[in-house]
């Protein structure tokens, strides 16, 4: 029996559509035998009693079981109220027009289906179909937010029930889509199922207060309170960067210095603070390049100003706006000429385009991608390069938020074609790329068995295209580099490569773009790229 939209509210207590690793589309050798792969962690019995698990057997959101039917009913009522607010001009002016267009004009042609890496990787699982979530929302809106909806729904045979089972499954289902918008690109009508998913996440967050803790409590809330989603306060971040400067200085033999809070600087660089903790070579490489090129730049030590992360982009307009406003306030205070985004995709999208229209008047400080600035520097002649130092196979991962969403496609490629003699593209690439699988916050979500799901399902097509790009030298003896100029993508690639043992079996590692640039600098004597998984 094919799963229907209305089934989301039926058979409470059962999994709606269980998924297992055996169903997934095959990977190329040596990853083609499911029995050789690590498998998926079962949810531990304690958690499965405590948490809602009624969708596919995977738990990303860690929604606690409601205490009693009364609590269930309260949430259902809140959802119904949220549904109306989602369609209301005051509460949701930010995305009402694209949302209504997407809800009202889908012709159900399913042209978008094959574009979705999650749906395709899963072997066509019905609940992952890009239209499934949208159909559920459409049916709920039709029945519960429109006059005469209940009668019409019955007549149209679309009789979905708004109950606890439906909303708890729908909430979890919102976290099976990476918001990559590949589906939206292919829709002939221009319907955007990625946006619909985000709007649903927003309803849950802004009305019911439901959001994964990695994105909310440990994400935006922590960032607004302490300055960074990493928990680093201004003192700690300065300390850490000083340590990086020393470390990288020793390693490269160059004097590495990061300027802080320089008033009137040309460039305020904002990193994803995760780089400082997990990939210190990245901010270190930025410092080397910007100093070598004589750029007048600074980092900011005011709270939020040193962390470009803005998880609000993934689930909540209020948190998105709060963080974006703080970013520009910091820039305004320092009187910098422009803000440059570090290697972080969602930071690019949040700050360059999505927040643009709330930055009125003086708040609209110019914002630029680091990829554009780096291209300018690399081709300025101010730094001497020896591309033969990068003579190993390199491919480029296109972060959705920089490439598909912002149209920044070529600057990073021009750098790689110049500095990496063995650069090759993945297929498809550029604006048609596949998401790394860590988009929309997945890369930082790792509760229960969700990491297993996101590396095996959401990343599957990405992993396949990486392997295909290196198919001419598949063995581990040839070291290969996946350039991913985005912090979240790197986090996802790290988990993906570790899960499959890609470094050991295929010699594949990953890193940013600045690392490749520094590796090719004549003045840097020792190899900057370390062939290790970090």
Partner 1 sequence: MSAVIIIVAYFSLAVFVIVAVYRTLRVATLPVHLRWELAPVPHEKGRSHYGGSYLEEYEWWKKPRSRSLISELIYMLQEILLLRGVWEHHRRLWWFSLPFHTGIYLLIGAGALLLVAAGLDWAGAAAAGVMARAAVAVALVGHLLGALGALGLLVRRLTDPRLVAVRTAGTLFNLVFLLAVFTTGAAAVAMADRPARRLVECTQAVLTADFSAAIPGLLAVHLLLAFLLLAYLPFTPMLHFVAKYFTYHRVRWDDDPLVARPRLEGEVKELLEQPVSWSAPHVASGGGKRWIDIARELPEE
> How many residues of this chain interact with ligand SF4, rule: CB under 6 A?
25
Candidate residues 48, 226, 291, 353; the one interacting with partner 1 per rule CB under 8 A: 353
Provide, rounded to whole angstroms, the least separation between the CB of residue 184 and ligand SF4.
7
Return the range that interacts with partner 1 (CB under 8 A); candidates 31-39, 168-176, 217-225, 381-389: 217-225
CA distance 339 to 355: 14
Provide, rounded to whole angstroms, the least separation between the CB of residue 411 and ligand SF4.
24
CA distance 148 to 151: 6
Q: Does 437 bind ligand SF4 (CB under 6 A)?
A: no
Nearest-5° angle of CA 188, CA 189, CA 191? 110
Candidate residues 78, 226, 473, 498; the one interacting with partner 1 per rule CB under 8 A: 78
From the list partner 1, ligand SF4, none, pick the one residue 267 interacts with, judged by a Cβ distance below 5 to 8 Å according to partner type. Answer: none
Q: Does 107 bind ligand SF4 (CB under 6 A)?
A: yes
Candidate residues 81, 189, 235, 522; the one interacting with ligand SF4 per rule CB under 6 A: 189
Long-range CB pairs of 497-503, under 8 A, 24+ apart, other chains included: 497/533, 498/533, 499/37, 499/38, 499/451, 499/452, 499/455, 499/456, 500/31, 500/37, 500/455, 500/463, 502/463, 503/476, 503/531, 503/532, 503/533
User: Can you read off the two tokens belonging to residue 277?
Assistant: 């903790």
Q: Find where tokens 């169903």 sit.
A: 23
Cis amide prior to 428 (ω within 30 degrees): yes
- Residue 322: closest CA among 225, 443, 402, 218: 225
Candidate residues 190, 253, 475, 527; the one interacting with partner 1 per rule CB under 8 A: 190
Q: Does 299 bind ligand SF4 (CB under 6 A)?
A: no
> How many residues of this chain interact with partner 1, rule: CB under 8 A?
95
- Residue 180: closest CA among 345, 372, 318: 345
Longest dimension (CA), the chain: 76
DSSP secondary structure, 174-195, as one string? GGG-----HHHHH-SS---HHH
Which residues of 176-299 form beta strands (DSSP E)? 267-270, 297-298
Q: Does 480 bind partner 1 (CB under 8 A)?
A: no
Candidate residues 173, 208, 215, 513; the one interacting with partner 1 per rule CB under 8 A: 208
Provide, rounded to whole angstroms, the least separation between the CB of residue 108 and partner 1.
5
CA distance 386 to 384: 7
For partner 1, the binding residues in 393-432 under the rule CB under 8 A are: 403-411, 430-432
Candidate residues 20, 44, 110, 380; the one interacting with ligand SF4 per rule CB under 6 A: 110
Q: Does 130 bind ligand SF4 (CB under 6 A)?
A: yes
Q: Does 112 bind ligand SF4 (CB under 6 A)?
A: yes
Candidate residues 43, 53, 106, 118; the one interacting with partner 1 per rule CB under 8 A: 106
For partner 1, the binding residues in 314-333 under the rule CB under 8 A are: 317-319, 321-322, 325
- Contact set with ligand SF4 (CB under 6 A): 106-112, 115-116, 118, 130-131, 177-183, 187, 189, 191, 193-194, 197
């Amino acid at each position: 029996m094919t799963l229907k939209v209305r089934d989301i509210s039926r058979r409470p207590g059962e999994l709606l559509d269980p998924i297992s690793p055996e169903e997934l589309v095959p990977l190329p050798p040596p990853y083609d035998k499911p029995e050789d792969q690590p498998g998926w962690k079962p949810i531990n019995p304690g958690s499965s009693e405590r948490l809602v698990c009624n969708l596919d057997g995977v738990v990303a959101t860690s929604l606690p079981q409601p205490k009693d039917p009364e609590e269930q009913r309260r949430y259902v009522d809140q959802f119904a109220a949220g549904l109306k607010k989602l369609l209301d001009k005051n509460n949701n002016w930010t995305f009402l027009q694209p949302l209504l267009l997407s809800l009202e004009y889908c012709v159900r042609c399913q042209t978008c289906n094959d574009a979705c890496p999650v749906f395709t990787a899963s072997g066509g699982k019905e609940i992952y179909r890009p239209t499934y979530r949208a159909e559920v929302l459409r049916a709920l809106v039709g029945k519960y937010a429109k006059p005469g909806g209940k009668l019409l729904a019955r007549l149209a045979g679309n009789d979905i029930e708004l109950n606890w089972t439906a909303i708890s499954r729908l909430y979890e289902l919102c976290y099976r889509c990476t918001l990559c918008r590949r589906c939206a690109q292919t829709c002939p009508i221009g319907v955007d199922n990625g946006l619909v998913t985000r709007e649903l996440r927003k309803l849950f967050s802004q009305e019911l207060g439901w959001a994964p803790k990695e994105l909310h409590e440990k994400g935006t809330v922590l960032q607004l309170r302490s300055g960074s989603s990493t928990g680093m306060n201004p003192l700690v971040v300065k300390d850490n960067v000083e340590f990086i400067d020393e470390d990288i200085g020793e390693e490269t033999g160059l004097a590495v210095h990061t300027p802080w809070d320089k008033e009137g600087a040309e460039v305020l660089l904002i990193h994803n603070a995760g780089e400082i903790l997990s990939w210190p070579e990245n901010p270190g490489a930025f410092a080397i390049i910007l100093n070598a090129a004589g750029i007048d730049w600074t980092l900011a030590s005011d709270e939020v100003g040193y962390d470009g992360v803005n998880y609000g982009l993934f689930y909540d307009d209020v948190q998105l706006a709060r963080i974006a406003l703080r970013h520009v306030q910091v820039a305004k205070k320092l009187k910098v000429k422009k803000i440059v985004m570090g290697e972080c995709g969602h930071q690019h999208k949040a700050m360059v385009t999505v927040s643009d229209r709330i930055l009125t008047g003086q708040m609209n400080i110019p914002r630029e991608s680091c990829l554009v600035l780096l291209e300018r520097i690399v081709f300025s002649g101010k730094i001497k390069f020896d591309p033969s130092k990068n003579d190993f196979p390199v491919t480029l991962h296109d972060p959705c938020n920089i490439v598909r969403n912002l149209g920044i496609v070529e600057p990073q490629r021009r750098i790689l074609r110049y500095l990496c003699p063995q650069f090759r593209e993945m297929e498809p690439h550029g604006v048609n790329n596949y998401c790394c699988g860590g988009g929309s916050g997945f890369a930082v979500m790792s509760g229960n068995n969700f990491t297993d799901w996101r590396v095996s399902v959401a990343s599957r097509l990405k992993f396949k295209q990486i392997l295909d790009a290196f198919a001419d030298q598949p063995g581990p003896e040839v070291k290969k580099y996946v350039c991913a100029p985005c912090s979240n993508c790197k986090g996802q690639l790290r988990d993906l490569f570790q899960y499959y043992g890609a470094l050991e079996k295929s010699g594949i590692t990953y890193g940013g773009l600045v690392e490749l640039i520094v590796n090719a600098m004549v003045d840097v004597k020792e190899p900057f790229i370390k062939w290790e998984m970090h």
